[in-house]
Structure 1
Amino acid sequence: MSHHNRPHHSRNQHNGQGNRQHGNRGAPPVHKPNTITVSQALEDIEQFQNKYGFSNTDSMQDRSRELNYKQEESALSNKFQEALGINQGQINGLVKLQHADAIRAFMEDPKRHEYAAFRTFEFIFRIPEHLDFDRLNRESTSTNEMRYKLLCKLMSLGICKACAGLVDNRDKRDDHRYNRTLNAIALWMKINHKKIAHSLAKQVYKEYSFTSPAGGDLYKLALVSPRLCAMLISCFGEIYRDSLPPPLLLDIIATWLDNEPLSLFYPLYQNSNIWLGFLKPEHYTDANKFIPMAGLKDLIAWSIRLALENNEKDPWRYHLVLIRSISTLTKVQSKMTQRKNELRLWPRESIRALVGELMQVSKKMDDQLTNDGSAKADTVMETVIDRFAQIAHAMKCQGAMKDCSPAQFNSLVCVLPRTKMLDIASGTK
């Protein structure tokens, strides 16, 4: 019998009877591979951005154009979600890593315009601030949760890849020579709600704290993206505003400042066109919503608290690299133009808060004070006040105390125990 005459229907009938005998259960759903890859979805989104001139609905000329924009935007968002495989529940660790690497390759293509690449990056990582980042786990599968976890993976992978092919670019001073993916993440952190930025910072530190040795490639970050260092420092400064960060994190940040003293102020020092194009005035000034451009005031407080703990493995290391970073402020201010007068790196309220903290400490250490209220030589109290005074003196020499006149500074510090260094910093000697 030829195959054309074989009774194919008999097998179907048998299977149909079998299904009825098992309660009409159908065959398990067949897994369908993605019809579009992440790379293809990214290319389509970039074309969409080019088509509309990087515009948005606020600048649409007519309702028809606005409607088309919204429809295409929604379709592209769904297409990217399809490429990620979110609807099929296939975002396991390996797949997530592959998706992250595809995005990384897209961002770092030297033929791609950086502005267009970031607009695409911003498009795919629209994450609402109301997401509960503290409760995310492996089982979290909503679209926003999956995109956030993909961003975390991209950040970790980006650091690893950039440091693996590390080229020391400190003498080049050209942002395009630094890692584009990490620079994009840094800008994304600055223009999004600080709640998301803080969560990203905590996540990347957590991941690299479990490497062997602890910290791993994170130590090298200042050599591949000082911008991202600056944003992470700002985040950690706010997270540990009233305390000290873990010793490992403190050592990592000290290494960043040692490798690249300008990393603390890099977004101010190297204000590229892409940053100026996305940063609006509120991103500079709205401290309730956005992380600061530089986390100097928190790093200053850490130096003082380290002296109070008096258990540093390498005494003065952190303090000295911080002073060295402050000494670069002349370069930073010379690079700034329109926003030079807005620079409030160590505002008066921060100085007042730190003086109040020192006053509380001095009351507990009154045995380290002389009868006239000066700090005794070779005591913790003297070290603490001297560190504060050295920082203040360095800030004055750099012309960076914009928000605190000499008279105002003297009025604030007159309540502190006296030391020779404080007299110099306050101008009394």
Structure 2
Amino acid sequence: MTKIAIVGLGYVGLPLSIRFCQSDVKVLGLDVNETQVNKLNSGQSYIKHISSDDIAPLVDQGLFEASTDFSRIEEVEAIIICVPTPLNKYREPDLSFVLATGRSIAPHLGKGTPNKLVVLESTTYPGTTEDELRPILEEGSGLIAGKDFHLAFSPEREDPGRTDHSVKTIPKVMGGYTKACLDKCVELYSKALDAVHPVPSCRVAEATKLTENIFRSVNIALVNELKIVYDKMGIDVWEVINAAATKPFGYMPFYPGPGLGGHCIPIDPFYLTWKAREVDQHTRFIELAGEINTAMPDYVISKVSDALNAEKKSINGSRILMLGLAYKPNVDDDRESPSYVLIEKLEAKGAKVEYNDPHVPEIKPTREHIHLAGRKSVDITEGSYDCILISTHHNEYKEYNFSKFQIPIIDTRNCLNIRNKKYIKA
């Protein structure tokens, strides 16, 4: 039976682990978080939309085991890297997690099963697999990529909470360092996925993932800009989008919001803009989209200010209840959530902000917003607030009866079905 290691057991690595195990491939999950490793070995999930019922049987059958011991790489035939690739404070690519993983696995590449396959799934700029990861693996192992071990890139396409597509059904793009590397990668993923799509190189595969997310970023920026323009004209942008979406060709709907969230869309475009400078190219279109999307929290706060002014109040001294901390509906994924930016900007103006999110009961420590850690979700009906700000369109809010509230409700997602008389779209 094939045995592989998956490094990084988060929103990408854990679903991928489950899928391989369900295809009778043994998985050794590696992670530096000992608490999460212990939970998984007891059959418990720590990600809300992933059920413990999907993990426990795999542990019991011996198909899945989690560990913090990277020396166990020698037990496996392939290593798949699913670690974060964030931006640093200068909005530049931070490959520290990828490179640290490379250093951890390199000493064990030549042990156990020969000609191991290493696949990077973390989103990054073209050239990372060959120019950044490969030298670390070669230097740390004394082996040569394409000769002594196989190397490939296959971008993750995970969308947390989505039910109409899954890891199994989403076609898997992959490129290899050599033709033999690609063949090995195709062979592995074909064991667990319905369709694979080989491309000529790691660089093409890396660029594919960036292109997918840049496409979304640019189109979201477009509707965000249209929202502001149409609002000034007294036109509801959501009605416009819904009408335009009736056209069966040449158009697909994108929807505005309070800013970008998640690990991909707010980050990935900047990986390309940074890399493009090396070849003396300037990605003006992409950077403009980034500026528009980054400015959306300020637009939302201006709508909050207007709503409070109409009540003869100011942001300074007001109590505000924010609904939704996750970056997308019905999941507990709060990575890069614009809700954090909104909280910080409102509190910088003197507001007291509390939040409600049925999927995020407590704010966990994050690199960017460590001072917010420990805050807990409050009940919607408790406390006296000056306004409500809806940042995430969870199902729990869509049918909630907000008609009884006598305060302004600012909705950045156009998600409420039962509204009050002071309802405002933002």
Q: TM-score, normalised by structure 2?
A: 0.24
Which of 1 and 2 has greater Rg?
Answer: 1
Which structure: greater helix fraction?
Answer: 1
Which structure: greater strand fraction?
Answer: 2
Q: TM-score, normalised by structure 1?
A: 0.24
